[in-house]
Amino acid sequence: MKEFAQQVHKQLGVRLTAAQLDLLAHYEQELIEWNARFNLTAIRSLQEIRTKHFLDSLTCLLVLRETPPERLVDIGTGAGFPGIPLKVIYPKLQLTLVESVGKKAEFCRHVVRTLGLSGVEVVQERAEVLGQSPAHREKYDWAVARTVAILPVLAEFLLPLVRVGGGMLAMKGESGPAEAHAAERALRLLGGHLRQLLPVTLPAVVEERYLVVVDKIAATPNAYPRRVGIPAKKPLA
C-alpha cells in the first residue's frame, strides 16, 4: 500500500495514516474474496482496485475537504464506493450507503462489520423510495453517486436527499460537461445550481473524468423523485 499512499498524497495532498491504510488493505482483501463468488465488480486486480476504486473514490476530497460533511448518503454504492473510503478518511462521518442489489448490500454490511466502522447505515432500497422517505428526505449535507445514470436522472435521485445549503456530487466520465449542460433545467427544477465541473485524472486511466458539483439552493418540490423507474424511463429535460 506504500505506492498507493504516495499516489494519494501526490494527487490529493492527503497523507494516509497507518491505521487508514490498514483498513483499506482489509477492505480490498474482502472485496477480492467476495468478488470471486458474487461478481461484485469487474475490477479485480489489486492495482486496479487501488486506482479505479480507492483513489477514484478519494478524489471526492477535492470538493468535500473545504467543509467536511457530517452526514453523507452514497446512492448506488455497489461494493461501497465512494462511501466507505470516504468514511475511512472521515471517521466521524454519519454515512448512509444505498444499494438496491441484495448481494452488494450484504457485502457492504459485512465490510462495515469487519472493519469495525461505526455510524454507517446500509439501506437496501431504490433511490426513488428513499427520496420520499421523511427519515431521509433533505436530511444530508452531501449526496454522492458514481453510477452510470445520466445526470438528469442522478439529480432526481440525489437532490431530494440533500438539505438546502448542502450539495450533490456526481462522479462522471468524459460525458460530464455535456451532461451538465443538458441537465441545467432539471437541476433548477429540483432546487439545484451547478457550481463546478472539476476535471480529475487517475494514473494509467486515459478516460477523462469529472466531478460535477451542484449546490442545493432551494427545496425540492414534493413531486420529486417520481415513482420507481420513471426517472430513468423519462429523464427530466
Q: Between 94 and 67, name the one with better pLDDT.
A: 94
4 is written with which cell numbers?
498507493
- The residues, any chain, with a CB within 8 Å of residue 17's CB and separated by 6 or more, are none
Distances (CA, A) of 197 to 6, 179, 209: 26, 11, 10
* Domain boundary assignment for the chain: 2-233
**Mean predicted confidence (pLDDT) in 159-188:** 96
Residue 41: what pLDDT? 84
Q: Is pLDDT above 80 for 40?
A: yes
> Does residue 44 register a pLDDT over 80?
no
Residue pLDDT, tens place only, 198-227: 999 998 787 899 999 999 999 999 999 999
pLDDT value for 47: 86
Q: What does each C-alpha distance from 120 to 21, 62, 158, 224, 225 come to in angstroms? A: 19, 22, 18, 26, 24
From CA 214, how far away is CA 227, in angstroms rounded? 23
Of all helices (H) and strands (E), which one includes residue 94?
Answer: strand 94-98
- 147 pLDDT band (50/70/90 cuts)? confident
Average pLDDT value over all residues in the chain = 95
Please say whether the beta carbons of 85 and 24 come within 8 A.
yes
Domain 2-233 has CATH 3.40.309.10: no
Query: Quick one: pLDDT band at residue 13, thresholds 50, 70, 90?
Result: very high
pLDDT of residue 216: 98
pLDDT grade, residue 194 (50/70/90)? very high
pLDDT-based confidence at residue 100 (cuts at 50, 70, 90): very high
34-42 contact pairs (CB < 8 A, 24+): 34/79, 34/107, 34/110, 35/79, 38/103, 38/107, 40/78, 40/79, 40/103, 40/104, 40/107, 41/78, 41/79
Query: Mean pLDDT over residues 20-37, rounded?
Result: 95
Q: pLDDT of 120-138, one tens digit each?
A: 999 999 999 999 999 999 9
